[in-house]
Structure 1
Amino acid sequence: MRNFLPPRSVLLLALMASVAMARERFPSVRSVYVRNDPQERAEQLFVTRDVTTVLRFQQPCTDAGTKILGWEGRFEPVVCAGKRVLIEPVQTLEPEDRFLLVVRLADGTEVPFTISGSSWKEGEWPDQQVNVFLEPDAPDALRKQLEEYKERERELWEQLRVESFTGSSENHTLAALLTQGAVRFTPFVARKAWIFKKEDSNIQATVLTDGKEKMAVLFRVTNRDPSTPWRLMDARLFVLPPGFQPPLFVGEGRPFALRTDKKVIPPGETGYVAVVADRSAFDSPQGPTKLFLGIFRHDGMMAAHVTLDRSLFKK
């Protein structure tokens, strides 16, 4: 009697699907920490048709002064119920739609929010419950932040396990962790940084190393274009020939691992690109060499570049 086992790829898909289904059983709950600062922008809420989004505050709200501007025909009347505010769209809202919600609390504080339609992008799924903390340093808020930090830590370890299961290289796993802000889970320490300011973007390039065998560059990309998304087209790592100065577009290529935290960076938002390479990338029969790393945006233009040398490693 034969035993037929599904291939590794099928097992992986089944695992990922079961994880996704399990997560969908949990309500979409998140916390926001609002400071009483007129310079702070209004927190954004993501809603979807015929689903009630609940805001939970630390004190009661009042019907007088709590309102959505231009809500008629698009939302049920906003409801204050003790420390909760209920919002329910009755029409489909697009991600680009914007409505202003003002919540007035019992002590007279007014808290503004921007409401828009949800999308399937990471971080823009429909909100079912949003816990609002007006004093981020208060005990309840600090306790909640600690809980969220531990949950984030658990998710990062899960990501590390999945990366290993899929057969990704160690460098790909390290690059993925860097894009998620998890430097402390890697052996890397920041050594130097540059900032590239352009009309369409601000990019901070941070060079990191473990001091012995590996190096990394983390690009923090902020899209300043008011209407066009920012997309990564390519990244290149190659030898910088003697006598040549960057920027450079050709050369002897070197292997590296690449990861991004999102495929597209919408206008006004920030994303991360991480590159990890081994120390052996510097090896050359011609002796000591420098490396040139460049990232290129969707239209083929170079967005940022750095030059790397052996001084990153301890002697």
Structure 2
Amino acid sequence: MRIALPGTWALLGTLLAGAAVAEEHEHAVIRTLVLPEQPEAAPQRIYVKGQVVTVLRFEQDLAPLRARLVGGEGRFEPVGVVGRKVVLEPRRDLAPEEGFSLLVTLSDAREVPFLLRPPGRREHGSADQQLNVYKDRDGYEAMASALVDSEKENKTLRAENERFRKEESSEDHALAALLTAESEAQTPFKGVEHFSGADDDAELEGTVYRGKGKAAVVFKVKNLHAVRSWSMKSVRLVGVADARERSIAVRSSAAVFEPGTSGVIGLVVDGSAFLDGETLTTLRLELYRQDGLLQAIVQLDPALLGK
């Protein structure tokens, strides 16, 4: 839907009903798996995503002889065995409740089961892109691979801790938290326009705010799906002219909105984000949901920056 507003600025509020518009950046996910010692152990999970290739990379002396899906016929491209690698690619995303078995027969005659599942609430909602599979967790290659995993995890945790530290003292994040708590009277913002829309999964109501040297947007989200949770995967703020990504303060009333529940997402944009050199420019705010689909777009004009 397009909503034309009076004055010199305009808002574009769009809910993409079923349109598969993917987020531009997919996070690469490489993990280490060690085969269980007990044959009756539960199958290890592999997270897969529609039209994203997942590769299982085995040790040389475990090179797979064959691999087959159980119950996934027609849902995946033909499973490939290339050297010591097994290649998977779902034709479309798996539903939250779906899971398929992958049985891999190794060169030592063992048949190893894996469970294929959608990423769900996993970090970034990303598929596994490479899994390094080992039989001995104490072997050199397995330990080296696990060390790389640990270093990446520690780097991510350090970055998150630093982000949290900065957000604790950030005025914009404090304002976003007040908007999320529906305490706009305690902020310098004034609502200037509303928009709304719905698709099969969610109903959104949005408000655009003008502030002193800042702008803000608040989304009220109701999860309409019977069984699937809704969550915000990411938010991007880019210049319409230069596509350069800007920083934005984001707060959400909950990490996940369960079926039938509602929540609020507050976003605050500092006036400096509107600068392109010494010129003010229009910005585009993009809200992505948990499966990477673009849920809403809001166009923000510099006229939102009050005096």
TM-score (norm 2): 0.44
Q: Flag the structure with more relative contact order, 1 or 2, with Cα contacts below 8 A and sequence separation at least 6.
A: 2
